[in-house]
Structure 1
């Protein structure tokens, strides 16, 4: 595998912000979960970007992108700046293939979008979700968590 990490984050306390920063990593170490902190259902969606850098000398081919729950979507920004998606949970609508090649030194940005109101009142409390990329080098999993409040 090939991920040696540079881990960067922003203050997760500002859950009212639409985008809450970026986590930048290489491609082989486990990616630490991102914590949104407290997220109000009334304030709408929150987002976080995970930047995956191909630090190897071989192409990384992304075949598929999925989320662990219907309350979460993801959009991918490819090395040329093109955005593809949104991608969601398997079995909840059409999930297109990605088929993107990330060459050595290039990066892909994974924007995870969480809707805290998707589950209604039953969704209040601590949540953990995962967005994944299936690649020719295995699966890359990015996790986030939040404390959902009314």
Structure 2
């Protein structure tokens, strides 16, 4: 899947968590996804850029499982999830500031990739911040 999906917007973008204390526990936040197309989007895969980040998508009362980084060449499993035409859904994200231990203190950039089959394409959604000592 080499082309960015059209008609799917996310907000806020860019998104910053600011300073995240390393011992503050898992940060939870979300992005609004808006399918501006006149057809549904078929979401087939969710992956993140790092093991410290997990993501799921919720549309109405339906939600995917949380997925993280593809590990050791094994990709995350395919899913079958529909984002209805003209609808708003939510990208749910968790970030664990302690996942990398003390060496994880400092600035970070992370992303979530949503992959679609119909129409085929992807959407990358990014966030950043700084892990700080308490």
Task: Calculate the TM-score normalised by the size of structure 2.
Answer: 0.83
Partner of 1:148: 131
1:85 paired to 2:65: yes
- Gaps (5+ residues) in structure 2? 1-5
Does the 8 A contact of 2:115 with 2:122 survive in 1? Answer: yes
Aligned residue pairs: how many?
125
Matches of residues 1-150 of structure 1 in structure 2 within 5 Å?
1-3=6-8, 7=11, 23=12, 32-79=13-60, 81-91=61-71, 95-135=76-116, 136-150=119-133
Structure number with greater CO (CA < 8 Å, separation at least 6) is 2
- Tell me by how many angstroms 1:139 deviates: 0.9
Q: Which secondary structure state, in structure 1, belongs to the residue aligned with residue 23 of structure 2?
A: helix
Q: Give CA deviations for 1:50-102 in whole Å, capped at 9, x if unaligned.
A: 121111112211110000000101122123x1222110101267733221112
Q: Which has the higher strand share?
A: 2
| 1:95-142 deviation line (CA, Å, top 9, x unaligned) | 332211122122321111100000001100000000110013411111
Judging changes above 3 Å, is the alpha-carbon distance between structure 1 residues 113 and 58 closer, same or farther for their aligned structure 2 residues? same
- Shift in alpha-carbon separation, 1:140–1:55, aligned structure 2, 3 A: same
Q: Secondary structure at the match of 2:102?
A: helix
CA 1:4 to 1:53, structure 2 compared with 1: closer, same or farther past 3 Å?
A: closer
Structure 1 residue runs of 5 or longer lacking an equivalent are 8-22, 24-31
Indicate the RMSD between aligned Cα atoms, in angstroms: 1.9
Q: Could you tell me the TM-score, scaled by structure 1's length?
A: 0.75
